Chains A and B, each alone.
Chain A
Amino acid sequence: MSGPLNRLLEHVLEGEPEVGDEVDAIFRRAARLRRRRTQAVLLAGVGTAGLIVALGYLLTATLLNSPPATVSTGTADVVAATPPPLPSEAPAPARDGVLAVVEPLVKGRQLEIVPASERRGDGWREYGVADAQGRSRGTIQVAVFDVRKNWCFPVAADPDACARTDHAGGMEYVRYDDVSDADRQVRQTIARRIDGRRALAVLAAGAQNAGAQRGKPALTGAQVEQVATDERVLDAFGKAENCDDGCPAFATPVEGD
């Protein structure tokens, strides 16, 4: 039937419409198709890159967020493992009580606590701060000290003198700001509950030798004072914690017991 079928089919095709300018239309359509494919490839590339960056950030934040594994309680000689960080992309605001107070103030100045820089030990916490471009803006240190009943606030220039205190709520405090050296600007406040046996030191130090602007501490003097006189910060430390061993250096040291 091959021969006859071919001839029969010829008749079926009678009335075929004109081809017209379909060749040009085909080439225009091919060009559109090529553009769409290029856009799809680019979008897929951008999406993949974004996914890789997000996963990288998540993984980095999760892995590097881990604080040192041990906290020595000093006299009791007990070693306690701190709980692992939550696997969350954003820093958990309430993962420690000190950070819960400090972090909003830092963010309010368009700065960030660098999760990987967080360090802690017996009676102390330390947080690295960076600006939006990721450049270091120094550190914030918070520490608690057991002090004698007749302890008084130090005077930098005279080891035997006692500083006059200011009061905020149930706290008394003294500010020790020193921004005279552009390459080492620090703002520090020492506070304690009135007649309490624990002193809290809060220090914000700018990036050292980075110029006057980047050398500015991440918190203002008033904010450092605010953190130091916030009783939640003092309460965020365990009752047995005392920064007497391996404690970070403060611009104005606190002599404890």
Chain B
Amino acid sequence: MSGDNDTALREFVTSRLPQLRRSAFLMCGDWKMAAELTRATLARLVADSRRGVVADPDVYAYADLMEACRRRNRRREHVFVASPGAAGVEAESILLLDALHKLTPRCRAVLVLRHWDGFDAEAAGAMLDLNEDQIAAYERAGLAALEKLLGESEAAMAG
């Protein structure tokens, strides 16, 4: 993407904004914070693209966003915050978000990138600065932990 190609940049931002914001929400559990982090990431992407220093805008955007979410969540207990005008959120969704946020940030990022955004292990590795073996290990551990946590939550609710 050329640094001075504003039309292409605008198309990229328009097309990626919703998906990036959803990924940010899955990472941080707060729509307002997700929107803010996504705006900041895309603004940096636009500024750096104009300087011609962005090789792959997708890798840049997701890597920056995941790092921003990781920094924002550091030392903070997760609290799920629904959108202000949203209707009631189903209990299963809250359980899933809660389970997701009991995972380590890196484990959560691997699951979001691989299972929500649909990136392959190589792309996810480039975004998180991990090799494919590490991605596979985080993914296995994350899925197992998530399955266990969800099972425990469902059992608790049934009980």
Q: Show the binding face of A for B, using Cβ within 8 Å.
A: 1-2, 5-6, 8-9, 11-17, 19, 22-23, 25-27, 29-30, 32-34, 37
What B residues does A1 contact at CB under 8 A? 143, 146-147
Q: Which of these, A5, A12, A23, contacts B17 with CB under 8 Å?
A: A23
Question: In the assembly, what is the distance between CA of A29 and CA of B42, in Å?
Answer: 9
Nearest CB on A from B85, distance (A): 7
Counting chain B residues whose Cβ lies within 8 A of the other chain, the interface size class is 35 or more
Residue pair A14, B90 in contact (C-beta under 8 Å): yes
Question: In the assembly, what is the distance between CA of A5 and CA of B40, in Å?
Answer: 28
Q: Which of these, A5, A6, A25, A26, contacts B146 with CB under 8 Å?
A: A5
Residue pair A6, B39 in contact (C-beta under 8 Å): no
- Near A by CB (< 8 A), chain B positions 105-128 give 111, 114-116
Instruction: Judge if B10 is at the interface, Cβ distance under 8 Å.
Output: yes
Total A-B Cβ pairs within 8 A? 90
Question: In the assembly, what is the distance between CA of A26 and CA of B43, in Å?
Answer: 5
Q: Show the binding face of B for A, using Cβ within 8 Å.
A: 10, 13-14, 17-18, 21-22, 25-26, 31, 35, 38-40, 42-44, 46-47, 50, 82-87, 89-90, 92-93, 96-97, 111, 114-116, 143, 146-147
Q: Secondary structure at chain B's binding surface: helix, strand, loop or mixed?
A: helix
Residue pair A29, B92 in contact (C-beta under 8 Å): no
Question: In the assembly, what is the distance between CA of A16 and CA of B81, in Å?
Answer: 11
Closest to A10 in B: B116
What A residues does B17 contact at CB under 8 A? 19, 22-23, 26
Closest to B25 in A: A13
Nearest CB on B from A167, distance (A): 78
Residue pair A8, B13 in contact (C-beta under 8 Å): no
Residue pair A12, B97 in contact (C-beta under 8 Å): yes
Nearest CB on A from B37, distance (A): 12
Q: Given contacts A15-B83, A26-B39, is CB(A9)–CB(B26) below 8 Å?
A: yes
Residue pair B14, A15 in contact (C-beta under 8 Å): no
Which of A5, A16, A23 has the most chain B CB atoms inside 10 A of its CB? A5
Question: In the assembly, what is the distance between CA of A13 and CA of B116, in Å?
Answer: 11
Closest 10 CB pairs of A and B: A15-B86, A30-B46, A29-B43, A17-B83, A30-B43, A12-B93, A30-B47, A26-B42, A5-B115, A33-B47
Question: In the assembly, what is the distance between CA of A23 and CA of B9, in Å?
Answer: 10
Given A29-B40, A30-B44, 8 more A-B residue pairs with CB atoms under 8 Å apart are A9-B116, A19-B17, A19-B21, A22-B38, A23-B10, A27-B43, A29-B39, A32-B43
Question: In the assembly, what is the distance between CA of A30 and CA of B47, in Å?
Answer: 5
Residue pair A27, B35 in contact (C-beta under 8 Å): no
Q: Given contacts A2-B115, A5-B146, A6-B115, is CB(A22)–CB(B86) below 8 Å?
A: no
Nearest CB on A from B97, distance (A): 6
Residue pair B115, A16 in contact (C-beta under 8 Å): no
Q: Given contacts A25-B39, A27-B46, is CB(A5)–CB(B143) below 8 Å?
A: yes
Q: Given contacts A16-B22, A27-B10, is CB(A9)–CB(B47) below 8 Å?
A: no
Closest to B43 in A: A29
What A residues does B43 contact at CB under 8 A? 26-27, 29-30, 32-33
What A residues does B115 contact at CB under 8 A? 2, 5-6, 9
Q: Which of these, A5, A6, A23, A29, contacts B14 with CB under 8 Å?
A: A23
Closest to A3 in B: B115
What B residues does A30 contact at CB under 8 A? 42-44, 46-47, 50
What B residues does A9 contact at CB under 8 A? 26, 96, 115-116
A-B contact pairs, 10 of them (CB 8 A): A2-B143, A5-B116, A9-B96, A12-B93, A14-B90, A26-B39, A27-B43, A27-B46, A30-B50, A33-B47
Nearest CB on A from B140, distance (A): 10
What B residues does A14 contact at CB under 8 A? 86-87, 89-90, 93
Residue pair B89, A15 in contact (C-beta under 8 Å): yes
